[in-house]
Amino acid sequence: MKITSIKVYILQAPDTGRPHWVSHFIVPRANEILVKLGTDSGIEGFGIATSYTPIEAAIHCFRTGISEKIIGADPIATEKLFRTLFGLTHSRSAHEKGWGKEAIMRIAAAVDIACWDIVGKTANLPLYKIFGGFRDEIPCYVTCAYYRDGKDLSELRDEIHMLKDQGHRGFKGKVGGVSLTDDIERMSTIREIIGDDCDLMVDVNRGWDLATAIEGAKLLEPLRPRWLEEPVRWADDRRELKLLSQKTSIPLSAGESELTSWGCRSLIDEQSIDILQFDCTMTGGFTEGRKLSALCELNHVQVAPHHDCFIHAHIVAGSPAGCIVESFTDPERDPLQAELYENPPTIKNGLLTLNQEPGLGLSLSERAISKFGTQII
């Protein structure tokens, strides 16, 4: 089988004028690469890549010939094609064309996921069964409590009540952007509303120095968070995560900010975390995600991938190390989850039930692509 065609879209949502903030940056409502691959057998597949940085670098790669590395490749040979694309990160020709490492990694992720979609359709099996088929229903939490201009505790309360009424059983709140006193009050408000029988996770988005992280973890412990995510700044995060783990009983998580699977591996090797949150749509697609999932299982680390619950559900459902997936049910935060698919998996009472159709098991909404997308090639 050979890849005979490629279509690429950039998916972006319009600016609402009231952005969502985390500790120190604005989170895009949608900033994704959608790749559709066609083959000489007639089987098609698609993949998604997420970017928190300007998408123009990836657009440049497509407009200056990176598709030539993809057309003609065998989509079933996922490892070979990923290695071809990854090899561009240290290629003189790629450098001369201005192809940056991050852009190449995002493109490789989207292409890899599209190839695996084709693999599943060729085998007539959903990917989670190919990945191990450990279960077909997995826990799913909702990310919430973003900072927004003018957002006060009253608006936060309304948000959490709305999400609880939707049936969610896990809630991840954002901290690190205001004082510890204010953040603890915000997280206490969430715990008060959701009660003791729901999970609370806390995400710092690399916003604290080590001293603040130690103090913050101590203040958060009475709220019994399921985990504390990316609690320290990036510069010396491996060592600081290890030091923080010795000072708190809260499990620590990280991984979404890593550019490669080797970066994720080092978090495991250095025993810095209890939960790995790699992102297949940012770091290597399913080809690398499966390796990391197996590595987590062998090292007694749980897998809770970042973002894109309908994509990552296959990784989590396929592995005994699979823990939970992350959802965004507020269309003001992520309109794509609500609109991109004609047949999104069901999320009910904190559980996501995977579709049984082959491959990703997802049908793209052409209306949503028209609404949010711009075709690049």
Mean pLDDT of the 264-269 span: 96
Is the pLDDT assigned to residue 72 strictly greater than 90? Answer: yes
Mean pLDDT of the 113-132 span: 98
Note the pLDDT of residue 35: 98
Mean pLDDT of the 355-370 span: 98
C-alpha pair distances (Å), 123 with each of 126, 130, 181, 268, 313:
9, 9, 54, 33, 19
Q: Which two tokens stand for residue 330?
A: 């507020």
Is the pLDDT assigned to residue 332 strictly greater than 90? Answer: no
Query: pLDDT above 90 covers what percent of the chain?
Result: 95
Interatomic CA distance for residues 32 and 28, integer angstroms: 10
Note the pLDDT of residue 40: 98
Mean pLDDT of the 48-63 span: 94
Under 8 Å between Cβ of 371 and 11: no
Q: Is 239 helix (H, G, I), strand (E, B) or coil?
A: helix
DSSP 8-state code for residue 369: H
Query: pLDDT above 70 covers what percent of the chain?
Result: 100
Residues 6+ apart with CB under 8 A from 361: 120, 126, 127, 343, 345, 354, 355
Is the pLDDT assigned to residue 53 strictly greater than 90? Answer: no
Each residue's pLDDT tens digit, 78-99: 999 999 999 999 999 999 999 9
Is the pLDDT assigned to residue 52 strictly greater than 90? Answer: no
Note the pLDDT of residue 347: 96
Note the pLDDT of residue 231: 98
The DSSP result for 73-133, as a single string, is --TT-HHHHHHHHHGGGG-HHHHHTT--HHHHHHHHHHHHHHHHHHHHHHHTSBHHHHTT-
Is the pLDDT assigned to residue 363 strictly greater than 90? Answer: yes
Note the pLDDT of residue 14: 86
Mean pLDDT of the 229-254 span: 97
Q: Which domains does the chain have, with CATH numbers?
A: 3-124+366-375 (3.30.390.10), 129-353 (3.20.20.120)
Mean pLDDT of the 343-369 span: 97
Note the pLDDT of residue 202: 99
Q: Of 15-29, 87-101, 255-269, 300-314, which range is least confident?
A: 15-29
Helix axis angle, 237-245 to 210-220, nearest 10°: 30
Ramachandran area for residue 72 (φ above 0: left; ψ -120 to 50: alpha; else beta)? left
Per-chain mean pLDDT for the chain: 97
Under 8 Å between Cβ of 298 and 320: no
> 1 falls in which pLDDT band (50, 70, 90)?
very high
> 15 falls in which pLDDT band (50, 70, 90)?
confident
Under 8 Å between Cβ of 281 and 340: no
Q: Which two tokens stand for residue 61?
A: 């790669």
Interatomic CA distance for residues 346 and 310, integer angstroms: 10
Is the pLDDT assigned to residue 30 strictly greater than 90? Answer: no
Mean pLDDT of the 238-244 span: 97
Under 8 Å between Cβ of 180 and 219: yes
Note the pLDDT of residue 331: 85
Interatomic CA distance for residues 310 and 357, integer angstroms: 13
* pTM score, whole prediction: 0.97
Under 8 Å between Cβ of 320 and 134: yes
Burial of 346 (0-12, 13-18, 19+ CB in 10 A): exposed
> 330 falls in which pLDDT band (50, 70, 90)?
confident
Q: Which two tokens stand for residue 278?
A: 């790699």
Note the pLDDT of residue 28: 83
Residue among 212, 204, 198 nearest 176 (CA): 204
Q: Is 353 helix (H, G, I), strand (E, B) or coil?
A: strand
Mean pLDDT of the 330-357 span: 94
Mean pLDDT of the 331-345 span: 93
| DSSP-assigned beta bridge partners for residue 171 | 142, 200
Mean pLDDT of the 184-204 span: 98
